[in-house]
Structure 1
Amino acid sequence: MNSKSLSFRLLVSAGVVLASFFILVAIVLEQGYRESAEQTLRENLKIQVYSLLSAAELTRAGQIKMPKELREPRFSNPGSGLYAWIQPVDADVVWFSPSAIGLNASSAPDMDSGQFVFLLDEQGRYVLHYKVIWENDRGKERKYVFSVAEESLFVAKQVDRFKTALGSWLLAMGLILILIQFLVLRWGLSPLRLIVRDLESIERGEKSLLDGSYVTELRGLAGNLNALISSERAHLERYRNTLADLAHSLKTPLAILRGSIDSLVLDKKTVHDQISRMDEIVEYQLQRAAAKGEKKITGTMDAAMGIDKIIASMKKVHADKPIVFEIKKPDKFKIYCEQGDFYEIAGNLIDNACKWCDKKVKVSILNKNQIKQDGFSFLLQIEDDGPGIPIDHLNDILKRGVRADQNTDGHGIGMAVVNEIIDLLGGQLLGDKSQSLGGMRWRVYLP
């Protein structure tokens, strides 16, 4: 498995988490089992203490007397691991079991009568001490400490066996869980592999878009990728068409120029007209090719700020004309649009309004709640108090090279570019008469 793959990273992460969990579980269970084993041993030693108490007798002289044979056979076997001692308080041992021959007795701590004390002595043995006050038939009291010890190896062996069994089970469960995790990851990441395969199919030309049945979380990604793919294809197609149109459009002017050069008399006016025509064609094609079109995944721009910048520029360009600008817009208005496209749209429309108006231009921005047109969330409305354009000529001025007034400067391509960019953005351009100013009104709807 590739170490850079997402599946490998998730599987390793899950393995580390499982291993850490099992280690902590093993530590906790081992400690719990050890404490349980020690508690069980303490109870067993307490039973042995009671057994010694039942077997012991106090003589008339106040001495402890023990039988030769005890109920527990391990007390009779030297080195059996179970030992017993009896010693008076503040005195040496007076009795020890045969199993404790040659061993040092465990020192009894300070304790109250009737109290049990369970501890691990300096020889590594678990010892239970019990202090008792014994009174003989003469009423004489003697204080004794009964001590029973068990080698710690007994508990250690139990814990080791438990650790071995626990480790085996945890290892088996860990391997099973890792296998399950691997299968779950393969199932969980299968939608990503599906979308990768579909992208590879698009790259090979077998598909045009991501059309698979994707999980909910990936539908937005698939939609954005489809938008990007469609946008790039539209750009490529537009570039190809632009080059083809440019080549085709230049044929006629070039042919005329060639004919003029080959003729005996060079007509300067013809050359000038054809050069102007070629300049017009090149400018239009370049502007059309530069239109970005719809790309919602590239981000947003502030349309309100863009209008402010355009108005400031128009005041400088038309400084010789006393234009009154009426602006109605919010302080901020974010839209999905390339900045260059927006400036191309709004700049051309406002510039035309400034050229045609008498003295007043009105610019408005409306939001989704103020728009009657369904499917749009932004409306840019530009009005002027000029003569306006006849309704039957509106479609003509959106064509390349057609101007509303042949006496004005320009190549007649501004409105054509505006219309094409709006169309690429999925919007709508409408023109009619302004009800408030009486001149032309242009409305730009964008989704």
Structure 2
Amino acid sequence: MKPGYSIRARLLLGAALVLLLFMAGAGIAVQRAHTDSVRTAHYDRLQATVYLLLAGAELDDAGRLQLPAELAEPKLSVPGSGLYAGIYNVDQNETWRSASTVGVEPPLVMRKGQPGEWVYDTMEAPNGRKYLAVTYNVRWSVRNRAAPLVLVVLEDQRGLKREVAVFARTLWSWLGGAALLLLLAQLLLLRWGLSPLRAVAQEIRRIEAGDQERVEGRYPDEISGLTENLNALIQQERVRQTRYKEALSFLAHSLKTPLAVLRNALGEPAELPAVVEQQVRRMDDIVQHQLGRAAAGGAARFAPAIAIAPVLERVREALGKVYAEKGLDFTIACAPELQWRIDQGDLFEMMGNLMDNAAKWARSRVEVRATREAGQLRITVDDDGPGFSDTTSVLQLHVRGDERVPGHGVGLAVVNELVGSYHGELELRRAPLGGGRVEVCLPSR
């Protein structure tokens, strides 16, 4: 047998993997969205700084740039503040830089473009430091002439990276904590959800130990079918064991009398052959009956469904050879698609005895009909013989309907016990043909 494994461990591992993948995907998506949002916000601030420069810039009569000593953005006046600006006067080949660029030398690259064009990108200094950059080209009108200007504003990316890093630490800390809490919750839920399985396993161990006879707890719908089938299997096995023990006990007890008769007959040699034949026949009847009781399959909940018609046809073929001299009209009415969950050996035993009994007593006709009615298998065997004079005693062992017809009085008794083992009913009545009718009804469960 292969080593077992834990369903809880498999479910927990699968849930953990799915949760971690989900958390990782969600975290990466949120972090990326936050980074894009922060970058857009920084570009918007840089664009606002460009508008601030446009508001403060002037051109004198010579077309030279004039900017106030103090700008509305304080960072542009603080050296190394991280925010840098420059204006390039194209016609005058003149460049203005903010006071914040002193000692820093940021890469204020003046990219010429179409007037009114905004350019958002990054620039890298010779020392490897990177900057967010916004470039704007404008055509400035001064006394009926246009002066092209290029404005560029830079911001050190370290501020952006710090903001993104702080958010990332916070995000992954919360996501990690949430993942641990969810895993713990899943563990508790799995433990609670799988508790019925543990209870079933404990009950089975108590059944094996002999402390209880069946699964007694009430369980969810998903496993109630399993517990019901377990109880049915346990009950079926116990019935079978009981039947075996009873059959052996009855067999031993029933054989005592024939053996005693044979022992007494040893003293009378003249009567010995007749006594031996009689008692051997009787012992054969007893053995057949007890073996039939012991071999009864019982309610075949776990047996596969078998077709009924082929079994009836095979029994009819065999009986046609046995009773060929009677020339019986043997008819069978059974749909080819009719199937039932029953042990095939039990069905052969039932129908063999019933159809043999009908053929034995029939004058010319035997009719067999098998149908499904209201969730039951109903089988009727009719003959045109004399019928049953006593519908109760003929179901007992060694009781025959007519001593003039050869037989042992075993068949109907065996069938009655087989039908009872399937929780069915067997009835004897008058047939429409004028003879006897045997009707068997077997429930589906």
Return the TM-score normalized by structure 1: 0.89
Q: Give 1:201's aligned residue.
A: 206
Post-superposition Cα deviations, 1:35-94, rounded to whole Å, max 9, x if no partner, equal 110111012111211222222221212122334443434334444322212224599671
Deviates more, 1:124-133 or 1:311-320: 311-320
Shift of 1:34: 0.7
Task: State the alpha-carbon separation in 2 of the partners of residues 151 and 109 from structure 1.
Answer: 22
Q: Give 1:108's aligned residue.
A: 111
Alignment of 1:25-424 (within 5 A): 25-88=26-89, 94-100=95-101, 101-108=104-111, 110=113, 112-122=114-124, 124-136=130-142, 138-258=143-263, 263=267, 265=269, 267-369=272-374, 377-390=376-389, 392=390, 394-406=391-403, 408-424=405-421
Shift of 1:130: 1.4
Identical-residue share of aligned pairs (%): 38
Does the CA contact (< 8 Å) of 1:62 and 1:140 recur in 2?
A: no
Does the CA contact (< 8 Å) of 2:112 and 2:137 recur in 1?
A: no
Amino acid at match of 2:159: F
Amino acid at match of 2:254: S
Deviates more, 1:344-353 or 1:204-213: 204-213
Amino acid at match of 1:191: P
Post-superposition Cα deviations, 1:97-146, rounded to whole Å, max 9, x if no partner, equal 24334333235263x3233222223553211111111122x322111111
Task: State the alpha-carbon separation in 2 of the partners of residues 417 and 93 from structure 1.
Answer: 120
Does the CA contact (< 8 Å) of 1:227 and 1:295 recur in 2?
A: no
Does the CA contact (< 8 Å) of 1:85 and 1:93 recur in 2?
A: no
Q: Give 1:373's aligned residue.
A: none
Task: State the alpha-carbon separation in 2 of the partners of residues 19 and 161 from structure 1.
Answer: 22
Task: State the alpha-carbon separation in 2 of the partners of residues 38 and 76 from structure 1.
Answer: 23
Task: State the alpha-carbon separation in 1 of the partners of residues 112 and 168 from structure 2.
Answer: 33
Shift of 1:309: 3.1
Q: Give 1:427's aligned residue.
A: 424
Post-superposition Cα deviations, 1:359-400, rounded to whole Å, max 9, x if no partner, equal 11111123325xxxxxx622101101112221x2x3222222
SS at the partner of 2:218? coil
SS at the partner of 1:165? helix
SS at the partner of 1:426? coil
Question: CA separation of 1:18/1:291 partners in 2, compared to 1, >3 Å: closer, same or farther?
Answer: same
SS at the partner of 1:347? helix
Which consecutive unaligned segments of at least 5 residues does structure 1 have?
A: 370-375
RMSD between aligned alpha carbons?
Answer: 2.5
Does the CA contact (< 8 Å) of 1:301 and 1:335 recur in 2?
A: yes
Task: State the alpha-carbon separation in 2 of the partners of residues 429 and 217 from structure 1.
Answer: 36
Task: State the alpha-carbon separation in 2 of the partners of residues 317 and 150 from structure 1.
Answer: 110
Task: State the alpha-carbon separation in 2 of the partners of residues 90 and 303 from structure 1.
Answer: 107
Which consecutive unaligned segments of at least 5 residues does structure 2 have?
A: none
Deviates more, 1:419-428 or 1:187-196: 187-196
Shift of 1:404: 2.9
Does the CA contact (< 8 Å) of 1:389 and 1:404 recur in 2?
A: yes
Task: State the alpha-carbon separation in 1 of the partners of residues 115 and 89 from structure 2.
Answer: 12
Task: State the alpha-carbon separation in 1 of the partners of residues 413 and 112 from structure 2.
Answer: 106
Does the CA contact (< 8 Å) of 2:107 and 2:124 recur in 1?
A: no
Amino acid at match of 2:38: A
Return the match for 1:440 from 419, 436, 439: 436
Task: State the alpha-carbon separation in 2 of the partners of residues 62 and 322 from structure 1.
Answer: 134
Does the CA contact (< 8 Å) of 2:429 and 2:436 recur in 1?
A: yes
Question: CA separation of 1:360/1:115 partners in 2, compared to 1, >3 Å: closer, same or farther?
Answer: same
Shift of 1:434: 0.8
Shift of 1:277: 3.1
Task: State the alpha-carbon separation in 2 of the partners of residues 196 and 349 from structure 1.
Answer: 44
SS at the partner of 1:121? strand
Amino acid at match of 1:113: P
Task: State the alpha-carbon separation in 2 of the partners of residues 431 and 158 from structure 1.
Answer: 94
Question: CA separation of 1:107/1:328 partners in 2, compared to 1, >3 Å: closer, same or farther?
Answer: farther
Question: CA separation of 1:90/1:307 partners in 2, compared to 1, >3 Å: closer, same or farther?
Answer: farther
Amino acid at match of 1:132: V
